[in-house]
Amino acid sequence: EFHEGRGPVFPDPVRSQAAVDRLIIPDPEETMPFVMETIRLLRRELKVPLIGFSGAPFTLATYLIEGGSSKVFLETKRMAFQAPEMYHALLSKITQCTSLYLQAQARAGAQALQIFDSWAGIWAPQDFKRFALPYVQSIITDLRRMTDVPIIYFANNGSTLIDHSATAGADVLGLDWRINIGDAVKRVGKHAVQGNLDPLALFLPGDELEKRIKQLLEDAVAAKGHIFNLGHGILPQTPPDQAKIAVDAVHRFSGR
């Protein structure tokens, strides 16, 4: 179920081996044909690249284990630390589902694929390497076998994880606003980067917003490649005129 203001909600959380065993790995072409048809329709109509998308296995797992969103992720970490075999069995199933889903999007015509790890930042670096990163690496390895579309990996609140995120195998690393983009480029120079304006910076007065965007673009100039973006999702309360100011500023200051 999807509840407004709460996100995904699972009335029966997955917290036992029996519950893990009951999970099936569906064919996304059969269970979500509307997604693939939407991609095909958009490809016929759009004149800009179309990015496919999925949550990362760990982030998806948190909703299954917690039953919804969480502030402390008690049940998720308890399973990982106290029942690692069950945790890894669950993550393996989610990884297979996610890989098939992204492969189907690529076949339908997505021209890039983004893996979004909203809750990666709850882990200490050594635990991120053990409980989240390997599953992203597995998906990207699968994707490389069947498509050459660029792959973006975004680990939210991941400034302490960036050196590990850079080993995921993605072409582009998404960055949240909590790290200076120039500092990030110095650490992951072989990767292109995406980001990383604070979404709430869109509430700044127009001239201040333009100055901030100009500085961000200058800080990212040494990157192998830079896709301007927010450092997380745009908020529903954002005035559309402010978003237009940001887009226009990017075009003007990047010379494109």
Q: Alpha-carbon distance 105 to 50, whole Å?
A: 10
Q: Is residue 205 part of a domain?
A: yes
Instruction: Tell me the pLDDT tens digit for each residue of 202-239.
Output: 999 999 999 999 999 999 999 999 999 999 999 999 99
Instruction: Tell me the pLDDT tens digit for each residue of 135-172.
Output: 999 999 999 999 999 999 999 999 999 999 999 999 99
**In contact, 142 and 99? CB cutoff 8 Å:** yes
Q: How far is CA 17 from CA 23, 25, 135, 152, 166, in A?
A: 10, 16, 19, 32, 32
Domain that holds residue 212: 197-256
Q: Alpha-carbon distance 55 to 135, whole Å?
A: 12
Q: Is residue 53 part of a domain?
A: yes
The CATH number of whichever domain residue 158 belongs to comes to: 3.20.20.210
Q: How far is CA 94 from CA 6, 139, 162, 250, 256, in A?
A: 21, 10, 23, 37, 40
Q: Alpha-carbon distance 196 to 223, whole Å?
A: 13
Instruction: Tell me the pLDDT tens digit for each residue of 17-75.
Output: 999 999 999 999 999 999 999 999 999 999 999 999 999 999 999 999 999 999 999 99
Q: Is residue 225 part of a domain?
A: yes
Q: Is residue 189 part of a domain?
A: no
Q: Alpha-carbon distance 133 to 167, whole Å?
A: 9
Number of H helices, E strands in the chain: 12, 8
Residues 15 and 136 reside in one and the same domain: yes
| Total domain count, the chain | 2
